[in-house]
A and B are shown apart, each in its own frame.
Chain A
Amino acid sequence: MTSFSFSHVFDFRECLSRWFLKAFFVLTVLLMTIFSRPTDLIGKESSVSEELANLSIEELMTVKITSVAKKAQSLNDAAAAVFAITQEDIRRSGVTSIPEALRMVPGLQVARIDANKWAISARGFNGRFANKLLVLIDGRSVYTPLYSGVYWDVQDTLLEDIDRIEVIRGPGAALWGANAVNGVINIITKHAKDTQGGFLTAGGGTEERGFGSVRYGAKHDENTFWRVYIKYFDRDNAETLSGEEGHDGWDMVRSGFRVDWDKPSLDSFTFQGDIYQGEIKGSDTARSLTAPYATTVNAVNDVNGFNFLGKWTHITSDSSDVRLQFFYDRAKRQSSILSSKYDTLDIDFQHHFSFERHEIIWGLGYRFIHDSVGNTFTTNLSPDSRDDDLLSAFVQDEIAVVKDLLNITVGSKFEHNDYTGIEIQPGVRAICTPENDHVFWAAISRAVRTPSRVEHDGKIVSRVVPGPIAVQLEGNRDYESEELISYEAGYRVLPVEGFSFDIAAFSHIYDNLRTLETGATYLATNPSPHFVSPRAVQNKMDGEAYGFELVANWRPFDGLLLQGAYTYFQMQLHLDQDSLDTTSEGTEGDSPHNQVSLRSNLDLRKDLELDLWLRYVDSLASQAVGSYVALDARLGWKLCENVELSIVGHNLLDNRHPEFQPEILEQSLVELERSIYGKITWKF
């Protein structure tokens, strides 16, 4: 082992000296590349052809024709608005976290509230506690039943181990169930076979103060591969409006493993897990019945957790397979306002088979959730601990109505949860492929968002005024699910090799949306006599959202990829006549009307990459957040086969800008600063 790593250190030194030599000739090489091209290419081409011609037919049949367009084309089978972030997209965008990578997805609203908090949603209803987006990491749901949302600060892995992130805008409820209302994000990590050998990365900069990670993967036998990783980062505070240092820096250490065992052609097993521990700075505002009624303290809150996931896939015949998956997830957050601990156990079975024109998938699932919270006067859940069961079943049939031309998928999810009982979420989708390179699709689906723990059992004091009167958000046992009926359609085309275009349009009709109804003030005795002005959680709002999303990819030649994405979004919410809500309608202004993302990934040379990413985000009508333009740039330099250096700048166009209003009243807007970091990556 020692000699092994030593030889690689030697490689590294040799590589450095080679680089210095190279540096002298950069200009020469550059000029040579330009001027010697014609003869060079012809010479090369004929020799390549000659080489290929000398192969046998059997050998020729193993030559890979890698085509990005073809890979993307597999997505064309989906009768939904789908976008995939590839590993290459992640690497070349220079992002350091999953939320930041999601900014390139059309139809998603991604805003960073402060250094450690994000507001992420699809097709509206954005906020830190956005609750209509389902997020899965390798099939493990990471959505918290506490507020039906996602704690983005703890959703992470070694970014280099991510194979792709698939994002579906619009309801995915017929397959994934409740809360996949406006979108589903699937983060899929690589098979252990694809992460063999060592990998080390380290770097630092102005906001990314320091980070590092190590991964090692190896082969146990012919069919068994494994990897382990550990990563750490330390991120700086953002800045307040007055230009002072905020209190939102954070650091986290995370480690994980994955083992894959593939028994040739019949069975495959995956076992994986992660464990993490982080310290997150934040301002906790505690309410009290005595003046000054609110105290904001700068706290350092612990978050930690771990998870295991096992997956078994068995191929029963040419046209049939079964999958069994279980996971266990523990997530703990400590805070002076509300501490919480969640244990989730999930078992999921799926059977897929096809006969004649039908391709059927059906499945059963069971999830057990145990939680316990640490109550305070400010935030109180009653009971403070709960066990919930979630039972689900789904069936889907994809029918080839006209072979190779028209496919129709009908399906539904049936769920039973402890809050609202049975929920049925059906959907019908059609996909038409008149030609290979043209796809039309349309869908109608129903989805629901089931009540969260807070909406059902919570009491949250949002402020106290002299009296003392506590203005209190109150959960409601009769609170129902929010409902969506969605109409979507889209068109995808590959008019010429290297160019693709995708448009999706939608109209979402919502009903039973959450409102906070002002009730009659009453007297409470605990902890001391005071008045309570309740804001009861009810379903007294409906509304509609519509818009469209465009993506175009253009690869004019092998060394350049241009990607443009545009999102247009509108939402109108309407309170019921008898509603006494004063705030919920403002939600329609929490998402920008227009968003643009333009990316250019360019290979300046084989070993030099220049990547630019320009974003425009419209202002938020209900917040003091104006429109902004941000530019990220990355310069990557492959020193040698195994070593890569890169410099990344984020938000280069302004000193700082705000992106989203914190949802706790006393907390003021935070601005995100221009930042730069450097990184070295070494594969061994």
Chain B
Amino acid sequence: VIGNIVKSFIILSFSLLINLGSMAHGETSVEKEYAVKAAFIYNIAKFVEWPKESMNKSETLNVCVWGDNPFGSSLKALEGKDVQGKKFVIKNAKTVEDINHCQIVFVGKSEQKNLSKILTILNGRSVLTVGDTEDFAHRGGIVNFYLENEMIRFEINLDAVKRAGLNISSKLLKLARIVTVKNP
């Protein structure tokens, strides 16, 4: 009898789950987190100055997502918006060739294991690297998101900014936690 009850309880829970999963409204916390991060990337781009040679070449401001795209459609939804007179364009990057035309590269959690390799490849390029893994900025990334009291904050590695030849507005720096790396 107990077995049957437990079984039917489990079946009930799961069938409800399957049937109603499609009915769930609203966004999960993860979806919301990345929707906010997408908005951050768009806004941060307004405060960054790229070297003329890397910028003049393209009509668009290209944001490349390396590896798995954690944003769902929330980053794509911002495509076509205006940033510094250029169109915001979202691309996926899987190989080194893919990032040749990117001004911003987002390296997500899926790439944590390859992070050192990716950052070495990007080192010296005029690319704003953005990540959301704990030691992203410490390991040479430029902008890193972190959570504090359930709110998104970001940190900036100034050495990495310099190496990339970028200029970041003091307005943005004031809002960021500054990361300094003793032994880069």
Q: Decide if A34 touches B22 in the complex (CB within 8 Å).
A: yes
Q: Decide if B36 touches A66 in the complex (CB within 8 Å).
A: no
Q: Is the C-beta of A665 less than 8 angstroms from some C-beta in chain B?
A: no
Give the contact stretch, choosing among B59-67, B118-126, B147-155. Answer: B147-155
Q: Decide if A605 touches B81 in the complex (CB within 8 Å).
A: no
Q: Is the C-beta of B73 less than 8 angstroms from some C-beta in chain A?
A: yes
With a cutoff of 8 Å between Cβ atoms, the chain B residues found around residue A596 in the complex are: 6
**What are the interface flags for A606-644 relative to B under an 8 Å C-beta threshold, 1 for contact and 0 otherwise?**
100010101010000000000101010000000000000
**What are the interface flags for B146-183 relative to A under an 8 Å C-beta threshold, 1 for contact and 0 otherwise?**
01001111000000000000000000100100000000
Q: Decide if B13 touches A55 in the complex (CB within 8 Å).
A: no
**What are the interface flags for B1-45 relative to A under an 8 Å C-beta threshold, 1 for contact and 0 otherwise?**
110011001101100110011111111111011011011101110
Q: Decide if B43 touches A48 in the complex (CB within 8 Å).
A: no
Instruction: Pick from A560, A606, A616: contact of B6, CB below 8 A.
Output: A616
Chain A nearest Cβ from B140, distance in angstroms? 19
With a cutoff of 8 Å between Cβ atoms, the chain B residues found around residue A1 in the complex are: none
With a cutoff of 8 Å between Cβ atoms, the chain B residues found around residue A614 in the complex are: 5-6, 9
Residue among B26, B39, B42, B43 with most chain A CB within 10 A: B39
With a cutoff of 8 Å between Cβ atoms, the chain B residues found around residue A49 in the complex are: 35, 38-39, 73-75, 77-78
Q: How far is the CA of A497 from the CA of B30 in the complex (A)?
A: 8
Q: Is the C-beta of B134 less than 8 angstroms from some C-beta in chain A?
A: yes
Q: How far is the CA of A536 from the CA of B57 in the complex (A)?
A: 95
With a cutoff of 8 Å between Cβ atoms, the chain A residues found around residue B72 in the complex are: 45
Q: Is the C-beta of A42 less than 8 angstroms from some C-beta in chain B?
A: yes
Q: How far is the CA of A624 from the CA of B156 in the complex (A)?
A: 67
A65-B29, A558-B29 as given contacts; A616 in contact with B152, CB under 8 Å: no
Chain B nearest Cβ from A154, distance in angstroms? 35
Q: How far is the CA of A50 from the CA of B12 in the complex (A)?
A: 39
Contact residues, A40-58 vs B (CB, 8 A): 42, 45-46, 48-50, 52-53, 55-58
Chain A nearest Cβ from B75, distance in angstroms? 8
> A interface, how many residues as a size bin?
35 or more
Q: Decide if B26 touches A558 in the complex (CB within 8 Å).
A: yes
Quick one: closest B residue to A50, CB to CB?
B77
Q: Is the C-beta of A410 less than 8 angstroms from some C-beta in chain B?
A: no
**What are the interface flags for A566-590 relative to B under an 8 Å C-beta threshold, 1 for contact and 0 otherwise?**
0000000000000000000000000
With a cutoff of 8 Å between Cβ atoms, the chain B residues found around residue A46 in the complex are: 73, 77
Q: Is the C-beta of A600 less than 8 angstroms from some C-beta in chain B?
A: yes
Q: Decide if A52 touches B6 in the complex (CB within 8 Å).
A: no
**What are the interface flags for A422-436 relative to B under an 8 Å C-beta threshold, 1 for contact and 0 otherwise?**
000000000000001
Q: How far is the CA of A418 from the CA of B81 in the complex (A)?
A: 76
Main secondary structure of the interface of A (DSSP, over half): mixed
Q: How far is the CA of A34 from the CA of B18 in the complex (A)?
A: 12
Q: Decide if A600 touches B33 in the complex (CB within 8 Å).
A: no
Q: Decide if A45 touches B2 in the complex (CB within 8 Å).
A: no
Contact residues, A306-320 vs B (CB, 8 A): none
Number of interface residues of B (CB under 8 A): 47
Q: How far is the CA of A415 from the CA of B54 in the complex (A)?
A: 71
Chain A nearest Cβ from B73, distance in angstroms? 5
A45-B74, A602-B16 as given contacts; A61 in contact with B22, CB under 8 Å: no
With a cutoff of 8 Å between Cβ atoms, the chain B residues found around residue A653 in the complex are: 5
With a cutoff of 8 Å between Cβ atoms, the chain A residues found around residue B26 in the complex are: 558-559, 606
Q: How far is the CA of A268 from the CA of B136 in the complex (A)?
A: 37
Q: How far is the CA of A365 from the CA of B118 in the complex (A)?
A: 56
With a cutoff of 8 Å between Cβ atoms, the chain B residues found around residue A62 in the complex are: 151
Q: Decide if B150 touches A67 in the complex (CB within 8 Å).
A: yes
Residue among B5, B43, B147 with most chain A CB within 10 A: B43
Q: Decide if A560 touches B39 in the complex (CB within 8 Å).
A: no
Residue among A65, A497, A556 with most chain B CB within 10 A: A65
Chain B nearest Cβ from A139, distance in angstroms? 24
Q: Decide if B81 touches A53 in the complex (CB within 8 Å).
A: yes
Q: Decide if B28 touches A558 in the complex (CB within 8 Å).
A: yes
**What are the interface flags for A49-89 relative to B under an 8 Å C-beta threshold, 1 for contact and 0 otherwise?**
11011011110111111111110000000000000000000
Q: Decide if B5 touches A631 in the complex (CB within 8 Å).
A: yes
Chain B nearest Cβ from A192, distance in angstroms? 20
Q: Decide if B33 touches A45 in the complex (CB within 8 Å).
A: no
Q: Is the C-beta of A444 less than 8 angstroms from some C-beta in chain B?
A: no
Instruction: Pick from B23, B39, B75, B81: contact of A34, CB below 8 A.
Output: B23
A560-B20, A631-B5 as given contacts; A65 in contact with B32, CB under 8 Å: yes
A49-B74, A556-B17, A612-B13 given; 5 more Cβ-contact pairs under 8 Å: A45-B35, A49-B35, A53-B81, A560-B16, A604-B23
List residues of chain A with CB under 8 Å of any chain B CB: 33-34, 37, 42, 45-46, 48-50, 52-53, 55-58, 60-70, 436, 497-498, 556-560, 562, 596, 598, 600, 602-606, 610, 612, 614, 616, 627, 629, 631, 653
A-B pairs with the 7 shortest C-beta distances? A52-B39, A49-B77, A46-B77, A67-B29, A49-B74, A557-B24, A559-B24
